[in-house]
Each structure stands twice: as C-alpha cells, then as structure tokens.
Structure 1
C-alpha cells in the first residue's frame, strides 16, 4: 500500500534534469562520493551566506596585509587580483551543492592568482574550505585532485614559467620555499580527512541510536501484544464457558443461568479494566500507571475465576513467601493465568494443581492437570505457550511444557528473582 502510494506520488523536479534523468541519478559533479554520502545539505538546504561572507571579508582584508609584507618580490594588489579573490570565495556559496566543481574552481583561481605574481596568503584558505567541503561530502579523490593540481601548477610556475610571468626580475624559487605550500597541502588533507572520519562516526552513531529506538519500540509493541493476549485469552475463555452454561440452563435452571451471566459480567469488567491498564502505557512517558500491575497476590482471584468455569485449582506454596521484583511478579501471574486458561480450553480434566516454590535465587512455578486433552478446537491464536516462553526469556528464565508420562499436561517455569538478576548485571 505504502509502495503504491509512493509510486503514485508526483516526484519533485530535480536540479540536474527532468524525468529522463531519474534512472541515471545526479550528474558526476554531485554524485555520491566514495563513502556513499552526499553533501551536508544534499543539494536542498540553504546557501551558506554568512560563512561565505565572513571568508570573503577575511580573504580580501588579509590579502592586503599579506601583499604589504611581500612587496619586494610580489605584485601589488590591484582590481584584477581583487576579482580573482572574490570569484574564489563567491564559489564557496555552492560548496555543499556542487562540492567537486567548487574544489577545482577554488584551486584554479588560487593558481591563477599566484601565477600572476600576487602575494601568498589568505587565498589558500579559499582552497582549504572548498576541498574540506568536498572531502566531508565524500568526494575525497576530487579534493585530492584539486590540491594536487594546485601544487603541481605552483611548481610549474615557480620553477619554469616564472621567466614569462610577473613580477619581473624575480628568479626561480628555491625548493626550500616550497615548504610553505607543502605544509598547506598536508594541512588541508589532514584536517579534511579528520572531519570526514568524525562525520562518518557521527552518522554511524545516529543510525545506531535510530535502530536502538526502533528496537525498543518493537519490544514495547511485543510486550503490549503479549499482555493483551494473556488478559483477553483468560477472560474470554471464562466468558465462553459461562455463556455455554447459561444457554444450556436458561430454560431448565434460570437461577443457575443468572449465576453464569453474573460471572460473565464480572469477568468482562475485569478484562476491560486490565486492557485499559495496558493501554495506559501509551500515554505520555513519565506518567504513573493508574493501577498496580497484577502479581502473585492476586492468585486467589485466578482460582475463583477458574472455579466459575468448573475447574478446581489447588495451590501449594513451598519456601518462604516474599514479594518478587515487579517484572518477575507480573510474569509469574501471567504464566499461571495462561496455563490455567489452557487447561480450561484444551483439557478434559476439571482439576488443576499449582505449585509456587520460593528459592534463594529463583521462583519456580508448576501447573499440572490430569488430562486427557479434548482435541477440540477451542479457538484462540495458539500463541499462549510462545507468549509464556517470551516472558520467561525476557527475565533470563526458562519454560518447559509438555505431556506428563502418567497422562495430563505440565507447565514448569523457572524465573530468576531480583537477587539473581542483579548478579547477572
């Protein structure tokens, strides 16, 4: 459905061409780089006016002072030089949308500026910013190529073409003087690569945070589905049995039918309350629940509800009874509730036994019935045992369920208590 809507939605026009270009992707000057990332704004954000204006002012003013310190062997700053500087810094407006051409253009204007005999200085900052944007956008080779072009061109001018280029009377530059340009090249590459690595790390961390949030949402949905299943399966089983009793006795024993209807009313009211409690977790985070979660202290209620369906339940307790951790207490209640629901649905026995054993590091639960299985379709989703196993696994516990050698069915759950969970942590 979502896919159909996506295909049916009209695509916005792209800056590099019309519908015929969609299959080919963006042109070479704005494609994804080696890291698989696009520019910082993806070609759709605002132009960086403020930073570009600040760089322009700094380059224009700084070049004036740099020229004053190099008048002995460099040309004075004139209109042509000012225009070259302005062209280089103005191109930085597009450094996020078109990082490759901007990197080469800034390197080219700097090379022409230095080749014309103007002073060394802030002009190299323009190249640094252009190549930095290209590397961060993932176009590492393009940035390296632009820097290499600038360096190679400068070597060519300084050691061969200087005879025909201004300023007059200046001889070949020594190789030692190339150190300044070499340092700039290394600094540009090092800082750009550092920024690229940091940006990739940030993007990985953001993706991991998004995956963790999605995983937590999935776990919460699963928890709510499990809670709703356990609540509704038990209550509806009671209602189903009592409805059958009421229909069978409606004419012959109206008083007993009235009792069945009263049980249905009580079970449905309790089910609605528990469903409302589960759905309350969808409220704003931080809100306290309106009612405490059920626990083993409500085991007598389960016994009464089972008795209303005709199932007799004997409860035995071993060990010193103590209040388990809230998560363990809820899981224990739901496991016993689901096990008794399965007895009502699938067993021909009208008698079940529940054992609750308190141990030093665990809480053991056992539910037995004498069978035999009815084999009839009792409805339901068939997820009862799976839900019990999920509850136990969430607490590092175990569930064993299966037929007993002497007949009947047994469910055994072992849940670590709070002390054991703390030792694991």
Structure 2
C-alpha cells in the first residue's frame, strides 16, 4: 500500500514538457537567459559606450527574445524581425553579445515548419550582410568566422528541414493507419448490418406474401416469420456489438463475442435457407483450422455473396464451395439467378468491392461475374502463408 501511494505521488510530481503557449514562453525565456548572461558585461565594469546605446541594446535583446514566443504561429515574420533586431544590436552596441542565438533558434523554427525557401533566404541574407560588414572593416569578424557562420546556418536549416520531414511522415503514417482502420470498420459494418437486414427484409416480405395467399394460415406463417426475424436480429446485434468493440478505448474490456468464421457457416446457411434459398455447401481438401484473418475473410465473402443473392439475383439455389490446400483456400459461390443483375444491385461495386478488398488485403484475389451455365459466380483465392496471416492452412 505504501509503495503504491509513493508511486502515485511520484507519477503526479513527474515533470512533463510544457505544451502550447507554455512551451512558447519556455522557449523565449530559455533563449533570453543565456543571451542576457552573456551580455551582462555591458552593465558591469568599465563603460565602453554611452548609457543610451546600452539601453537601446538591451531593448533589442528583450524584443528579439520576446518575439520567439510567437515563432510557432508566425515563424517567417518572427525570424525576419529577430534578424533585423540582431543586426541593429550589433550595429548599435560595442559589446559582442550572443544575441545571434535568438536568430539561430528562429531560423530553425522556420525550417522545421516547412518554410525551406524562406529559411534559405534568411540564412543567405545573414551571410551576405555579415560578409559585407567584414569587407567594410569590421575587425570583430574575419573571413574564417564568416565561413563558420555559413556552416552553422546551413546545418540549422538542414536540421529544421529534417525535423519537418519526420513530422510530416509521421502524420501521413498516422492518417494512413486511421484511414485503413476506418475502411476495415466500414467493411465489417457493411457485411454484418447489410447481411442481417437483408435477411430480415426478405423474411418479412415472404411472410406478407404467405399472409395474402393463405389468410387462414396467417397466424402460423406470422409466427414462423417472426421467429426467424427474431433469430436474425439477435445474430445481427451480437455481431454488431463485436464489430463495434474495435472502437473501444484501450483500457476498456475487449468484446467477448466470438469472431465470425467458418465454424459458424452452418448458422449462416440456415438463415439463408429461411428466405427460401436452397443452399448447398461443398467442402474439400485439408480440414485444419484456418488462420484467423483468412477464416474471417472467407466467412465474410460467403456472407456478402449470399446477401447479394437474396437482394438481387432472384435465385432459388446457391452452391457454396470451399477447397482448402496446404498454402491457400479457395471459395466459390454460384447461384442460378439472373446473372449480371446480381452484381451489386445498381450500386457501383460496393459489395463486390468489399469482398475484393478483403481478398487483396491478405494477398489473394477475387473475381465475380456471370457463371458459365447462367447465374452469377463469385470466386476468391486467399493464401495462408502471406506475412499478414498468423499461420498456414494446414501443417506443411
């Protein structure tokens, strides 16, 4: 207990780097302190210049360092101002203080925020002005010092540009990962919600037709239809909760619903048969468990294909074939419906595009089109030795 309390106190007292405006203020103060310490000799000791010049010099020091507070928001403007203040300081004061540090920091901020041309122009202007001063008779700065200053400024600009590129790459990577995650979640929601709502729609329509044709058996028909709809909606809620579990926070409990896979293929086929489809499953090859990603992808492809058949094909029979080999699994769904009309029901490839994306994500492929004997065929091949998977289709 005591150790836990001490750990909590230490974690609360742990210093964290400032952010936002506090970080801007810390930067300005952090530059001002060494510049001020390095310029103290203008206030102590023998006078080498009149007091008005000293006061003006310190005013320029304070102005240049204070401007760094706004450097993150207006980097180019601030760097130009600091350069002008620094140049005026060295022209006015006879004391060679370290105010150049403020300009170097502002130059780095310009490059780090992606303004490479502006940073290069400011660095070049500094070197040119310093060189002109040296040629004009400034004995404090010689040719070697100008060359060293050039190297320092080039290095500062290069470091700032590298920092900018690293941050840009990190942002792009994060955005790409977020986009892929959104796509994955959208695909899962489309498959889960679309399939079950399609079944509910078909079952409801079938019940209404039976009620109209056989009013005397209406109660029994309605009871069967409501039972099927209840089961379908229960499955939809279960899978929807499991899918939405990926949106949970890291510290929340993970979803406990089982991951969809071919072990639930019987439930999927049974729900499709309730809509009047004659669904036959043919399985061949190895019978080992598939890797999790492959198992889910095959299940979702079959689910989406059956959903499309229910929605658009006007078919009466569907054959689902699954063939497992040592390094890949092949799935084929064929119906006896109206062929191309089953493609996607007027939407430009939304369902088939999702199936194709699932296969491609695991290094496989998927084709869909009219079958040789009519109807429509969806055929996918997914390898099990892809680096993205966690195993093989069967032991080698």
Q: Does 1:350 align with 2:316?
A: yes
Q: Does 1:218 align with 2:190?
A: no
| Alignment-derived partner of residue 88 in structure 1 | 60
Gap change, CA 1:307 and 1:251, over 3 Å in 2:
same
How far 1:326 moved relative to its partner?
1.6
Gap change, CA 1:233 and 1:331, over 3 Å in 2:
farther
How far 1:306 moved relative to its partner?
2.5
| Alignment-derived partner of residue 259 in structure 2 | 293
CA contact (8 A) 2:329 2:383 kept: yes
User: Following the alignment from structure 1 to structure 2, what is the Cα–Cα distance between the partners of residues 279 and 147?
Assistant: 59
CA contact (8 A) 1:246 1:258 kept: no
How far 1:244 moved relative to its partner?
3.2
Q: Does 1:395 align with 2:362?
A: yes
| Alignment-derived partner of residue 208 in structure 1 | 172
The 3-state SS of whatever aligns with 1:253 is helix
TM-score (norm 2): 0.74
The 3-state SS of whatever aligns with 1:305 is helix
- 1:414 aligns with one of 381, 388, 391: 381
User: Following the alignment from structure 2 to structure 1, what is the Cα–Cα distance between the partners of residues 268 and 390?
Assistant: 32
| Alignment-derived partner of residue 273 in structure 1 | 238
User: Following the alignment from structure 1 to structure 2, what is the Cα–Cα distance between the partners of residues 50 and 343?
Assistant: 69
Instruction: Write out per-residue CA displacement over residues 171-230 of structure 1, whole angstroms, 9 at most, x where no aligned residue.
Output: xx6x9x725643553354234323432333244234324432442343244334433454
CA contact (8 A) 2:63 2:85 kept: yes
Aligned pairs for 1:126-205 within 5 A:
126-134=99-107, 136-137=109-110, 138=115, 139-140=118-119, 141-158=121-138, 178-179=142-143, 181-182=145-146, 185-205=149-169
CA contact (8 A) 2:210 2:221 kept: yes
Note the aligned Cα RMSD (angstroms): 3.8
How far 1:110 moved relative to its partner?
0.8
User: Following the alignment from structure 1 to structure 2, what is the Cα–Cα distance between the partners of residues 303 and 263?
Assistant: 13
| More off after superposition, 320-329 vs 178-187 | 178-187
CA contact (8 A) 2:332 2:378 kept: yes
| More off after superposition, 253-262 vs 407-416 | 253-262
How far 1:413 moved relative to its partner?
1.5
How far 1:389 moved relative to its partner?
1.8
List gaps (5 residues or longer) in structure 1. 1-40, 69-74, 159-172
Aligned pairs for 1:76-115 within 5 A:
76=48, 79=51, 82-92=54-64, 93-95=66-68, 96=71, 98-113=78-93
